[in-house]
A = this chain, B = another copy of it.
Amino acid sequence: VKEPELLALLRTLPLHPGALGLADDAARLGDLVLTTDVIVEGVHFLATDPPADVAWKLVAVNLSDLAAKGATPEGVMLGFPLSDDTWDRAFVEGLREALSTFACPLLGGDTVRGPRVLSLTAIGVAKHAPTRSGARPGDALWVTGTIGDAGAGLVIAQGKPGPDSLLSRYRRPIPRLAEGRALAPHVHAMMDVSDGLLLDAARLAEASGCAVTIQLDAVPISDDARAFGVDVMTAATAGDDYELLFALPPDTAPPVPATRVGTFGAGKGLTLVKGSVAVPLPERLGFTHG
């Protein structure tokens, strides 16, 4: 079963109203927002990645989903297979750093024996959590920070020499929690960019029943990434950015630093332009693990 097929099958199960039809990144339970992310060795992280960084990433990818809901982390539930002593201890130290840094305490969990399939359920509190589905034709598409650094960091982690600034974007992503809270009351729709800017923008547009046009010249790329040789199409299809992608009315400026990268329109689908010239879509818009 491919991931989209399985998702379609899961949607036929008895769903909680707060599941929002499994069409959003997080579930709602009163003022609580809940998200689960699972990371697998060899799929979402490298066997050679330092275990403390793997722990950090497990926390960060979950809190990034909370950030996109404007939520404040309340706690996490951990599913942790024990493997070897050194790895496990280093993992716990990385967990300590991440939980302390993001002020997100451990609530509970389960330890088992088994292969490294690490799961975390993060719980946050948000009064009014935006969804993916509220963008309207005419809205502007914005993104925080820079795109493509983590993709370059993965190449560096795999052995190519490059700056630590990029490697750390891959290994120690920082969920945009404060930005998410500031943005939540203003945005029509918001999500985090985890699987590639183009793919996630297409998902945001689809969930909102809109078309979206991205101006490639506007995609924010860091100086380090440019110097590393990252071009805009590589950046916009790379994963693990963990920036926030959001829709604002055309006359609204975001309350946090961000870059306007596109515009929503009537209809459907993703269009790319460079200046005023249409650019064909790349074969792969981003990462899917299904």
Contacts and interface: CB of A to CB of B under 8 A. Distances in A.
Identify the interface centre among A9, A12, A15, A111: most chain B CB within 10 Å of its CB: A111
A269 interface: no
Contacts of A44: 112
A48 B2 CA distance: 23
Interface stretch (A70-78, A144-152, A201-209, A238-246): A70-78
Contacts of A6: 80, 82, 88, 92, 111
Interface in A46-85: 74-75, 77-82, 85
Interface in A76-123: 77-82, 85, 88-89, 92, 95-96, 99-100, 104-115, 117, 119, 121, 123
Contact of A108 (B19, B40, B111): B19
A109 to B, nearest CB: 5
A111 B290 contact: yes
Interface residues of A, number: 63
Given A81-B117, A114-B43, A36 B92 contact: no
B107 A38 contact: no
A115 B112 contact: no
Nearest to A18: B107
Contacts of A38: 79-81, 110, 112, 114, 119
A110 B36 contact: yes
A289 interface: yes
**Which 7 residue pairs of A and B lie closest in terms of their CB atoms, listed nearest first?**
A40-B114, A117-B117, A27-B108, A16-B105, A79-B119, A119-B119, A27-B107
25 contacts: A6-B88, A6-B92, A9-B89, A9-B92, A10-B106, A14-B99, A14-B104, A15-B106, A16-B106, A19-B75, A22-B106, A29-B32, A29-B74, A34-B107, A34-B108, A34-B123, A35-B108, A36-B121, A37-B110, A38-B79, A38-B110, A111-B290, A112-B289, A115-B115, A119-B119
